[in-house]
C-alpha cells in the first residue's frame, strides 16, 4: 500500500466520530493491506511502531520536532515556533510549511514504518541530532498531510479516537463483515497483547486458526486477571460455589517471566504491561527459588521497611520507581514477592486449568524463602468463613481478601464472577464500598490560595468502550503536596484541544485539557444519578487517595463497573 493511500484513511478516521463508522473504515484499510504490511498499518494507525510492552518510543520533545520541521522545509526555527503556538499543533505547522506538490506515491507504508522504527531505536551519543536529521529527511519527502501525521505519530499525539479494542472489532469485520468474532479475538489479544500480530495471524489463517496459535509466551506479558465486586459473602457463594479465600495485599501487581539457560532472562511487567525489571534487581537470583526452566508467575510485590522489617504500603513500594539514587532507595525499601498464580510452566499453557490445579502446580514450582512467599489460601463453601477470614486479615493489617472460584480458569480482564475482592475502604465511608480508578481529563486554574498551585479542580472520567465519560470534579481533600504533584504531572500531558475520546457536557468544560494518561484512585461517599455528567452517574464528596502509576487509562473503572457499584450501595 502506498503511503498516500494510507494517509487518506487517517484523514477519514480523524473526520469520523461514530465508533461503528471508524470500525468500518479500519476494516476496509485492513482488507487492502497486504500480509507483509498489515501489522505495520495497525501500529501506525494507533500512532506507534510496536506493541506497548516493547516500550519502543521516539523520545523526541516538541523542540526536537520543531527543529526537524524547520530543517525539512528550510525555515527558521522561530518561524516554526510561531506557527506552532498559533496552531497549537506541530503537525498543523508542518502541514502549512510543507510543499504542495510532494506526494508519497513513491513510498510504501512499510518503508515509512521502517524509517520511523530506526528513528525510535536510535540511541547513544549524538542520537538526538541523528533523530532530528532523520525525521527532517523523511518529512521533506512527504506531502503536507503526510508531514502532519508523521509529526503527530512521533510526538505520541495521533489519537484518532479509537484504541486496540476498536482495531479488534475491525479485524472481525474484515473477515465476517460484523463484530461476531470480536470476543474470540479479544480473548486472544489478552493472552498476547500484540494487535498487529493478531491482525497478521487472522489475515493469514482466518480467525480460528489465527487464534489457535496464541498462547502465553515467556517474555511477552499477559493481561492480568482482575477482581469483580459483590455485595456480600452470601452473594459470593451463591454465584461462585466453592471458593478459595486469599489475603489482599497493598502492593504492586507484577507478572514475572523467567527463563533459564544460556540466553535466559528475567522480566517483570506491571498490570498495564510496562516492563519494570530495573525496579527489582533481586529477581536476577530467582532461579534459586524456581523448580522449572521457564515460568510465568502472577504476584504482588510488597515493599519492606528495612528498619522495622514490616510490610510497606503501596506508596512506599512505588518509591522504587525513582531512577535517581536508586541504590539508596533499594536499601531503604526491600521487597518480597507474594506469588498467587502460575500461567505457564516450561512452555506449557496452564491458563486453561482450574484454579486449584494451578495452585497445586504453583506450590511444587516455587520454593518459599528469600524472595518469594506464597499467598495463603483457605478453601470454603460457607459465607461465614469468608466474613471471619476478612475480619482476621483486616486485624493483621491486610487490605481485605480476594475470593476466587475454586474451579475457574485464568481469564484475563474482569469478566464473570471468578475473582471477587472484599476490602476495607476507610476513606469511603457511608454506602460506597470501594474506591474508583478514574482518568484525569482536564483541570481549572486555581483561585485564592490555590493560585500558587495552578490547579483549582480537576475533572475525571471513567471508561465506556473507547470513550471516557465524566463522573466528577475534585477540588477538596488534597494536601498542598498533592496539589503541587498533580500540577507537575498535568503540565507534562496538557494539550490545547479536547481529546477525541472525551465526552463532556458544556457544564464541565475545563480551562485546560490533558491527554488520557494519568489515572487516580478516588474515594467518595456515594454514587448518585446525574443528568449533567456524561457517565450518567456522579460521585458525591470525592477525594483523591493516590496516583495509580501502575495503571493505564484502559484499566480505569468502566461504566459497567460503576453501575454495579451503584447497585451495591442500594
Band of pLDDT at residue 426, cut at 50, 70 and 90: very low
Q: How many degrees, rounded to 5, is the angle at CA 29 between CA 25 and CA 31?
A: 115
Band of pLDDT at residue 428, cut at 50, 70 and 90: very low
Write down the number of H helices and E strands in the chain: 19, 21
Predicted confidence at residue 427, as pLDDT, reads 39
* Whether residue 57 has pLDDT greater than 60: yes
Band of pLDDT at residue 325, cut at 50, 70 and 90: low
Predicted confidence at residue 345, as pLDDT, reads 97
What is the pLDDT averaged over residues 183-210?
94
- Asked if residues 319 and 550 have their Cβ atoms less than 8 Å apart, the reply is no
3-state secondary structure of 232: coil
Band of pLDDT at residue 430, cut at 50, 70 and 90: very low
What is the pLDDT averaged over residues 279-301?
92
Q: Which of 311, 329, 246, 314 is nearest to 548 (CA)?
A: 314
Predicted confidence at residue 231, as pLDDT, reads 82
**CATH top class, domain 436-568:** mainly beta
Helix axes 144-154, 62-72, angle to 10 degrees: 160
What percent of the chain lies above the pLDDT cut of 90? Answer: 70
* Whether residue 431 has pLDDT greater than 60: no
Positive or negative, the CA dihedral 407, 411, 417, 419 is: positive
What is the pLDDT averaged over residues 14-25?
93
Which residues belong to CATH 3.30.470.30 in the chain? 228-423
Which of 101-115, 339-353, 436-450, 464-478 is predicted least confidently?
Answer: 101-115
The predicted-structure confidence for 539-556, as pLDDT tens digits, reads as follows 988 989 889 988 889 889
The predicted-structure confidence for 67-115, as pLDDT tens digits, reads as follows 999 999 999 999 999 999 998 899 999 999 987 656 555 689 999 999 9
Band of pLDDT at residue 174, cut at 50, 70 and 90: very high
The predicted-structure confidence for 391-405, as pLDDT tens digits, reads as follows 999 998 888 999 999
What is the pLDDT averaged over residues 199-210?
94
- Asked if residues 501 and 161 have their Cβ atoms less than 8 Å apart, the reply is yes
Helix (H) or strand (E) holding 423: strand 419-423
Band of pLDDT at residue 299, cut at 50, 70 and 90: very high
Cell numbers for 203, please give them. 489475515
Measured between alpha carbons, how far is 98 from 494 in angstroms, rounded to an integer? 26
* Whether residue 13 has pLDDT greater than 60: yes
Report DSSP letters for 24-55, one per residue.
Answer: HHHHHHHHHS-TTTHHHHHHHHTT-SS-GGG-
Q: Which residues are catalytically annotated?
A: 248
Per-position b or e across 358-388, b if 16+ CB within 10 A of its CB: bbebbeebbeeeebbbbbebeebeebebbee
Q: Architecture of domain 228-423 in CATH?
A: 2-Layer Sandwich (3.30)
- Asked if residues 184 and 211 have their Cβ atoms less than 8 Å apart, the reply is yes
Measured between alpha carbons, how far is 150 from 148 in angstroms, rounded to an integer? 6
Select the more confidently predicted residue: 546 or 327: 546
What is the pLDDT averaged over residues 205-210?
92
pLDDT, the chain, mean: 90
Band of pLDDT at residue 238, cut at 50, 70 and 90: very high
Which residues belong to CATH 2.40.50.140 in the chain? 436-568
Amino acid at each position: 500500500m502506498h503511503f498516500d493511500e494510507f494517509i487518506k484513511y487517517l484523514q477519514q478516521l480523524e473526520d469520523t466520530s461514530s465508533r461503528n463508522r471508524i470500525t468500518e473504515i479500519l476494516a476496509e484499510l485492513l482488507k487492502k493491506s497486504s500480509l507483509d504490511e498489515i501489522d505495520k498499518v495497525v501500529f501506525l494507525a494507533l500512532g506507534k511502531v510496536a506493541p506497548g510492552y516493547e516500550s519502543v518510543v521516539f523520545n523526541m520533545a516538541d523542540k526536537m520536532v520543531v527543529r526537524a520541521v524547520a530543517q525539512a522545509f528550510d525555515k527558521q526555527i522561530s518561524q516554526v515556533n510561531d506557527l506552532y503556538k498559533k496552531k497549537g499543533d506541530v503537525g498543523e505547522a508542518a502541514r502549512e510549511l510543507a510543499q504542495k506538490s510532494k506526494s508519497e506515491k513513491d513510498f510504501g507504508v512499510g518503508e515509512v514504518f521502517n524509517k520511523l522504527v530506526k528513528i525510535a531505536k536510535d540511541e547513544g551519543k549524538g542520537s538526538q541530532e541523528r533523530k532530528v536529521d532523520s525525521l527532517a529527511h523523511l518529512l521533506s519527502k512527504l506531502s503536507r498531510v503526510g508531514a502532519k501525521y508523521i509529526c503527530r505519530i512521533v510526538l505520541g499525539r495521533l489519537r484518532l479516537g479509537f484504541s486496540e479494542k476498536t482495531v479488534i472489532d475491525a479485524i472481525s469485520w474484515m473477515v465476517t463483515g460484523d463484530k461476531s468474532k470480536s470476543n474470540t479475538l479479544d480473548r486472544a489479544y489478552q493472552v498476547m497483547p500484540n494487535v498487529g500480530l493478531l491482525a497478521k495471524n487472522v489475515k493469514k489463517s482466518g480467525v480460528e486458526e489465527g487464534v489457535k496459535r496464541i498462547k502465553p509466551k515467556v517474555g511477552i506479558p499477559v493481561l492480568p486477571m482482575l477482581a469483580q465486586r459483590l455485595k456480600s459473602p452470601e452473594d459470593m457463594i451463591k454465584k461462585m460455589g466453592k471458593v478459595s479465600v486469599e489475603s489482599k495485599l497493598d502492593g504492586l501487581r507484577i507478572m514475572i517471566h523467567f527463563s533459564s539457560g544460556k540466553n535466559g532472562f528475567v522480566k517483570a511487567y506491571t498490570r498495564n504491561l510496562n516492563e519494570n525489571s530495573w525496579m527489582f534487581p533481586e529477581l536476577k537470583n530467582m532461579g534459586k527459588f524456581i523448580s522449572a526452566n521457564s515460568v510465568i508467575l502472577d504476584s504482588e510485590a510488597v515493599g519492606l521497611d528495612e528498619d522495622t522489617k514490616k510490610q510497606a504500603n503501596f506508596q512506599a513500594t512505588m518509591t522504587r520507581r525513582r531512577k535517581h539514587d536508586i541504590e539508596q532507595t533499594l536499601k531503604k525499601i526491600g521487597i518480597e514477592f507474594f506469588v498467587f498464580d502460575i500461567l505457564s510452566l516450561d512452555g506449557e499453557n496452564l491458563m486453561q486449568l482450574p484454579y486449584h490445579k494451578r495452585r497445586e502446580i504453583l506450590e511444587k514450582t516455587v520454593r518459599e524463602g528469600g524472595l518469594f512467599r506464597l499467598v495463603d489460601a483457605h478453601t470454603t463453601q460457607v459465607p461465614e468463613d469468608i466474613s471471619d477470614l476478612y475480619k482476621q486479615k483486616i486485624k493483621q493489617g491486610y487490605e481485605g481478601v480476594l475470593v476466587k472460584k475454586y474451579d475457574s480458569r485464568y481469564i484475563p480482564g474482569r469478566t464473570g464472577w471468578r475473582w471477587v475482592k472484599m476490602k476495607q475502604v476507610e476513606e469511603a465511608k457511608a454506602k460506597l464500598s470501594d474506591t474508583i480508578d478514574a482518568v484525569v481529563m482536564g483541570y481549572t486554574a486555581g483561585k485564592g490560595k490555590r493560585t500558587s498551585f495552578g490547579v483549582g479542580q480537576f475533572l475525571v472520567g471513567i471508561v465506556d468502550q473507547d470513550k471516557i465519560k465524566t463522573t466528577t470534579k475534585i477540588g477538596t481533600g488534597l494536601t498542598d503536596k498533592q496539589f503541587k504533584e498533580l500540577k507537575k504531572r498535568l503540565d507534562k500531558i496538557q494539550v490545547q484541544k479536547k481529546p477525541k475520546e472525551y465526552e463532556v457536557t458544556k457544564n464541565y468544560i475545563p480551562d485546560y485539557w490533558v491527554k488520557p494518561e494519568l489515572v487516580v484512585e478516588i474515594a467518595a461517599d456515594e454514587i448518585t444519578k446525574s443528568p449533567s455528567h456524561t457517565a450518567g452517574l456522579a460521585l458525591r464528596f470525592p477525594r483523591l487517595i493516590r496516583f495509580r502509576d501502575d495503571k493505564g487509562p484502559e484499566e480505569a473503572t468502566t461504566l459497567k463497573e460503576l453501575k454495579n457499584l451503584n447497585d451495591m450501595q442500594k
